[in-house]
Amino acid sequence: SQGSFDWEEYLKENDAIPAPQSCFKQSVEPPVNEFKLHQKIEAVDPRNLTSICVATVVGMIGPRIRLRLDGSDNTNDFWRLVDSSDLHPVGYCEKTGKLLQPPLGFCKNPTLWPSFLQKTLTGAERSPENCFKKEPSNPKTNEFKIGMKLEAVDRKNPQLICPATVGAVKGEEVHVTFDGWRGAFDYWTKRDSRDLFPVGWCALSGHPLQPPGQKGTAQVKSKSREPSVSQSAHSPGNQSNASKSSSTSSSGPTSPNLPHDRSVS
């Protein structure tokens, strides 16, 4: 579904402006991905941020890698940019006097961890130093304004990056709303989140960009089971209770809000 979406045209049609590059914690030149599939690294456990675990590269798209913590099942995979500070070469913990931890939900008896760790690393290919890129510096001031366009990770489908609009700004957080979807995917996040990118980032980095959804178009309205009034999910100010949400929904049950004729895999 890539290729058909053109930001330039879309911005004109919608009389919208992109959020400036300086808003984002992203390097102007997207980092080059030098990782290879099946390599092992050390990574911060996304479910337990104080612990560092062995992880395996199980997928990649552009400058993002998909990771699976060794000793965890395949239902907790996560994506990181190659310049994420959550990623380290194997040996980092030893060097810095930390202990490599079993992942939250280690699939075996905890007493088996030391031998599991040894086995999982023995003979495994390790990502070399040069794969790990320096994390970009923090954006200084909050220049996000309501209505500005950006590209953002869909946290419910985290392999996807989609066209989005700033729906609200509150202190250090921004409300990310996905263009053409009814609000089920929207979330509040810190303005320096690594999940937010300037318009054009996908094209620059070789990452696919999803086209906007079809909310408001004839096809969707005619197929919707609901009456076509659904403004509440987008009204800023009513969402403060959702501002702590991370990877989960900020706007209630998903399915009734979804267009029914899309399947993006």
**What are the residues binding ligand MLZ (CB under 6 A)?**
154, 157, 160, 162, 178, 181, 185, 258, 262-264
Pick 3 or 123: Cβ nearer ligand MLZ: 3
Torsional class of 222: left (φ above 0), alpha (ψ -120 to 50), beta (otherwise)? alpha
Note whether 209 and 203 are within 8 A (CB). yes
Cβ 197 to ligand MLZ, closest distance in Å? 14
**95, 85 in Cβ contact below 8 A?**
no
Nearer to ligand MLZ, 115 or 232 (CB): 232
CA dist., res. 194 & res. 64, Å (int) = 11
Check if the beta carbon of residue 30 is closer than 8 Å to that of residue 205: yes
Cβ nearer to ligand MLZ, comparing 45 with 154: 154
Least spacing, CB of residue 263 vs ligand MLZ, in Å: 5
Nearer to ligand MLZ, 103 or 163 (CB): 163
Q: C-beta of 177: minimal distance to ligand MLZ in Å?
A: 9
Q: Please, what is the minimum distance in Å from the beta carbon of residue 34 to ligand MLZ? A: 29
Query: Least distance (Å) from ligand MLZ to the CB of residue 76?
Result: 19
Closer Cβ to ligand MLZ, 126 or 262, answer by number: 262
Judged by DSSP in three states, 128 sits in coil
Among 128, 71, 79, CA closest to 101: 71
How many other CB atoms are there within 10 angstroms of residue 99's CB atom? 9
